Amino acid sequence: RSLHHPSIVKFAGTFVDSRYHYLILEYVPGGEFYSILRNRGRLEEKDAKFYAAQVTLMFEYIHSQGFIYRDLKPENLLLDKNGYLKLTDFGSAKKIEKAVHQTLCSTPEYIAPEVLLMKEHDGKGIDWWTLGIFVYEMLVGQPPFFDEDPGICYQLIISGKLSIPIDLGEDAKKFVKKLLIVDNVKRMGCSPTGAKACKKHRWFSDVDWEELTHRKVPAAISPSVTAEDDTTNFDVYPESLEEPPEVEYDDEIIRETIQGIQRSDDDHLPEFRESLACFAEAPEDIVTGDSIKF
C-alpha cells in the first residue's frame, strides 16, 4: 500500500470470506511476461535491455522506499496495454534491515547465494542477483543455474560457475557477470551507489533513463488489447478442485472494507470504485467463493 509507482501494480484493499483472503488489485491487460518468454524462447538483446532497464528502475524505487522485493521472476511481471512492465505479487517483500534473512522465498533457480549460505546481508543484493538471472534468461532462454533437483540447483548457484553463450554481446556478458557475483559485497548494485552502478554500466549506455521513466520509449513488444477488460493475453488455467476449510468471518467487516475503499481520496483508487459498488451493496454475494471479476 505504501508503494506508488507506474511500474508497480496498484493495490486497493483486501477482504475475506469463509475460505479465502482476497486482494483487490489493478487489472493489467497485456498478460504475463512469462508467456512471452515461453513462446519466444529468447529475446533479442535490445528487447531484453528494454525490460531489464525497467526492472532496474523498479528496484531503485523500491529500495529507496526502504523495501526489498525478493521474488523477481517472469511470472511476477505483467505487461500493460502499452507494453511496459508492471511488477506484482509482493508476498515476499519486506523492509530492509541489517540481518540474516533465512527464508527461501524465491523460485529455486532465482535464489541468491547469500540466502542459501545464510550470510548477513540487507537484502538489496538479492534483488540485483535476480535481475542478473532474469537478464540471462531473457537472452539465453533458460536460467543460468537450473536442475530439476532443487538441491543440485542450489549447488550450482553457490558455485557461481556461469556458462554464457559466445553469441551474446560483450557488454551484455559483463553486465550479467557483475550481477551474478556470489559474494554479495562485490555484486553490482550492492555498493552505496546502489542502482546508479547498474544504470551507468556500458550495456545501458544507450538507454535514455528520463524518457524510459516517463514511458516515452517505444515498447519492445506491444500487446493486442481491445478493451480495458480484455483477457485474451492471459492463459486459461483450470479451476482448482481443492478448497480450504471454512472459517468464521465477519460480514460487516467485508462491507466496511469495501465502502472504505470507495470513500478513499487516494488518486490511484478511482478506477476500482465502480467495480466495487456491487459488492458493497450485496456482500452476501462475495462469500460464494467465486472469483472476483472487474
Cell of 4: 506508488
- Note if 71 is an active site residue: yes
Q: Which residues, including other chains, have CB under 8 Å from residue 229's CB and lie 6 or more apart? A: 27, 29, 294
Q: ∠ at Cα 65 (53, 208), nearest 5°?
A: 25
Q: Is 235 helix (H, G, I), strand (E, B) or coil?
A: coil
Nearest to 244 by CA among 275, 277, 292, 289: 289
Quote the CA–CA distance of 18 and 58 in Å, as a whole number.
Answer: 35
Rg (Cα) of the chain, in Å, rounded?
A: 20
Contact (Cβ atoms closer than 8 angstroms) between residue 43 and residue 242: no
Position 25, amino acid: L
Report long-range pairs for 185-194 (Cβ below 8 Å, ≥24 apart): 187/125, 187/128, 187/129, 188/128, 189/59, 189/124, 189/125, 189/127, 189/128, 189/131, 190/124, 190/125, 190/128, 194/60, 194/63, 194/124
Position 8, amino acid: I
Choice among 17, 71, 80, 127 that is catalytic: 71
State the catalytic residues.
71
